[in-house]
Amino acid sequence: MQEFQSSFLKYVIDNEILRFGEFTLKSGRTSPYFFNAGLFNTGEKASFLAKSYADAIVHAGMEFDVIFGPAYKGIPLAATTAMALANKHNVNKPYCYNRKEAKDHGEGGSIVGAELEGDVMIIDDVITAGTAIREAVQILTDNGAKLSGIAVAMDRQEKGTGELSAIQEIEQSYQITVVSIIDLQNIIDYLSNTNDAELEKHLDSVAAYRKEYGV
């Protein structure tokens, strides 16, 4: 595990963004953990998240021309990650996002910010079913741009309806890499090495979940 990943895990656990217990998912499965990216809701938390995205993107060696944040959740992620890449890694990339409804006045159109062109990296919080990502890729296609990669905060490494996870299906469909700050295996490794007895007691249930539903 990379240093930025262990720092991220400590932060999300300390701030209860990642919680352990019993949580019913939309799929009907009972998960022993829950990651709520909506709780990155202060300036400090948003800044920490952006720096973590930037670290993951640089570590993975992702190459792209533009960062695209799908409305609405992707908008602050694209803006803050572009800032973190510039400030921390001296990687200065343009970013843009879409409006849900096209404007017919002012500059018009549905894309705000930089031109949506060339090789584009999409940034989002999580990929659950992949529907939002497929919609975002259609926006890229409509603008003559090409998907080069995707960055997410968390990869649950969990089967969907078939044997693949939603992320694996996206990777296969578009022949790209999806980079995540952390994944389920990182959580298991973190729990395995913690000195916190309260945290460690969740290890068995999380590992069992991975064994049953993991990819």
Domain layout of the chain by residue ranges: 3-213
Q: Say how far apart CA 103 and CA 1 lie, in whole Å.
A: 45
What are the pLDDT digits (tens) for 57-74?
A: 999 999 999 999 999 999
pLDDT band at 106 (very low <50, low <70, confident <90, very high): low
DSSP string, 47-82: HHHHHHHHHHHHHHT---SEEEE-TTTHHHHHHHHH
Other Cβ atoms within 10 Å of 190 Cβ, number:
21
Catalytic position from the list 10, 88, 103, 201: 103
Active site annotation includes 201 = no
Are 56 and 112 spatial neighbours (Cβ–Cβ below 8 Å)? no
Q: Which is the catalytic residue, given 105, 146, 201, 211?
A: 105
Distance CA 106, CA 109 (A): 9
Let me know if 93 is a catalytic residue: no
Instruction: Quote helix, strand, coil % in the chain, to nearest 5.
Output: 45, 25, 30
- State how far Cα 27 lies from the chain centre: 19
Tell me the average pLDDT of the chain.
93
For the chain, strand residue ranges (E) read 18-24, 30-35, 66-69, 95-103, 109-113, 119-123, 146-155, 177-183
140 versus 161: which is more confidently predicted? 140
Q: How far is CA 32 from the centre of its chain?
A: 20
Please report the pLDDT score of residue 27 as a whole number: 81
Q: What's the predicted TM-score (pTM) here?
A: 0.93
Q: Is the pLDDT of residue 162 over 90?
A: no
Q: Using pLDDT thresholds of 50, 70 and 90, give the confidence band for residue 160.
A: confident
CATH code given to domain 3-213? 3.40.50.2020
C-alpha dist (Å) from residue 215 to 32, 108, 162: 17, 44, 10
Per-residue pLDDT tens over the stretch 187-208? 999 999 999 999 999 999 999 9
| pLDDT (mean) for 148-167 | 92
pLDDT confidence bin for 151, thresholds 50/70/90? very high
Determine the straight-line distance between the first and last CA of the chain, rounded to whole angstroms.
19
C-alpha–C-alpha distance, residues 16 and 159, integer Å? 25
Residue type, 169: E
How large a percentage of the chain has pLDDT more than 90?
A: 84
